[in-house]
Amino acid sequence: MKTVVLANQKGGVGKSAIACLLAHWLAAQGYRVLAIDVDHQGNMTKPLTKSGKAFVAPMSAHQVFTDAASASNGIAEEHPFVLIPSSHELKALEQQREQHNQFARNLRVFLHHADQRFDFCIIDTNPNPDIRVVASLVSADFVLSPIQLNQEALDGIQGLLLDERVGVERIREKLNPKLRFLGILPTMVEPTPYQKENLRQLVASSQIRSKMVAMVDAPTGGADYAFIPKRTAIAKAQGAGQFLAEIKGDTAARDSWREIQPVIARVAQLMGAA
Ligand SMILES: Nc1ncnc2c1ncn2[C@@H]1O[C@H](COP(=O)(O)OP(=O)(O)OP(=O)(O)O)[C@@H](O)[C@H]1O
Ligand SMILES: [Mg+2]
């Protein structure tokens, strides 16, 4: 099982939307998918539950941190697509400082238990960089960081990599050498001159370019870097709990899916999907 964490301390950048799209896509490709929502806001739990596609495990995601044995029982039934839903208890984990190492160990034990049952695990995280995010990064294979193209988010790129607690480089150095940064994925990109300029500037910086999700193995120009456009159909599908690819008779949904399908497929491919 390959585990990917959607992470960015900035809120509302499209982490949950991409987590859902990726989970649906991988499940539709025939992979066995485990989705874990460690954000108490439940923005992956709501749409995946509504979709009816995922079996909702009879437990809450806080148990993967507090009680690995009972969490493992929660995925005992054979289902190809399982959601471990969010709950309010998740919020309290950060205050239990003396338990933090144990929380991280429990998640690792749980993921180890799930390893043979699933092909991919997708962890959607909360925006505040707390123990849930640290523990997820410590046990993951990959991290993907959606960002929005505004100045504040661009200023935060260094933090994604170098933040003392949740920076990917720091986690890799200190706690999880196998963690691989899939990259920065600009989301909700609008066709405004300002956003186009921001995207151009990102790609122009060789340091940042090397951290972006590229659509091909040897990118040569701006067009080779992935981004997700801002589309009402994406937000609508997320709100309604539908998989964008499967919405029938809606031209906007079809067009939006056509735009983003190559990006979702590329991310899946970078994680080893065929
Ligand atoms: N590409 C997109 N185009 C239009 N709307 C989008 C797009 N991606 C996400 N949205 C919408 O933007 C809002 C925020 O997205 P989302 O919940 O995925 O962000 P998030 O990073 O998970 O937020 P949080 O940090 O609070 O967890 C949601 O209403 C979602 O449906
Ligand atoms: Mg979210």
Determine the pLDDT at residue 57.
97
Determine the pLDDT at residue 120.
98
Q: How does the average pLDDT of the chain come out, rounded?
A: 95
Determine the pLDDT at residue 60.
95
Residue 172 has pLDDT above 90, yes or no: yes
Alpha-carbon distance 39 to 52, whole Å? Answer: 20
Determine the pLDDT at residue 153.
80
Mean pLDDT over 128-153 rounds to 93
Report pLDDT digits (tens) over 38-81.
999 999 999 999 999 999 999 999 999 999 999 999 998 899 99
Residue nearest to atom 11 of ligand 1 (CA): 235
CA distances from 118 to 20, 23, 114, 256 (A): 16, 12, 6, 29
Mean pLDDT over 214-225 rounds to 93
Mean pLDDT over 27-47 rounds to 98
- Sequence-ordered strand ranges (E) for the chain: 2-6, 33-37, 55-56, 81-84, 120-124, 142-148, 180-187
Collapsing DSSP to helix, strand or coil, 95 comes out as helix
Report pLDDT digits (tens) over 196-213.
888 888 888 888 899 999
Does residue 106 line the site of ligand 1, with CB under 6 A? no
Mean pLDDT over 112-126 rounds to 97
Does residue 129 line the site of ligand 1, with CB under 6 A? no
Find the Cα–Cα–Cα–Cα dihedral 18, 23, 27, 33, rounded to 10°.
Answer: 160
Identify the structural domains of the chain with CATH numbers, from first to last.
2-270 (3.40.50.300)
Residue 7 has pLDDT above 90, yes or no: yes
Find the Cα–Cα–Cα–Cα dihedral 264, 267, 272, 273, rounded to 10°.
Answer: 0
Alpha-carbon distance 55 to 35, whole Å? Answer: 10
Residue nearest to atom 18 of ligand 1 (CA): 14
Residues around ion ligand 2, judged by CB within 5 A, are: 15-16, 43
Does residue 230 line the site of ligand 1, with CB under 6 A? yes
Does residue 219 line the site of ligand 1, with CB under 6 A? no
- Enter the DSSP assignment of 243: -
Binned at pLDDT 50, 70 and 90, residue 234 comes out as very high
Residue 222 has pLDDT above 90, yes or no: no
Q: Which atom of ligand 1 is nearest to the CA of 232?
A: 4
Alpha-carbon distance 150 to 194, whole Å? Answer: 9
Mean pLDDT over 145-173 rounds to 89
CA distances from 104 to 146, 169, 189, 210, 264 (A): 24, 18, 34, 30, 28
Nearest to 224 by CA among 180, 263, 268: 263
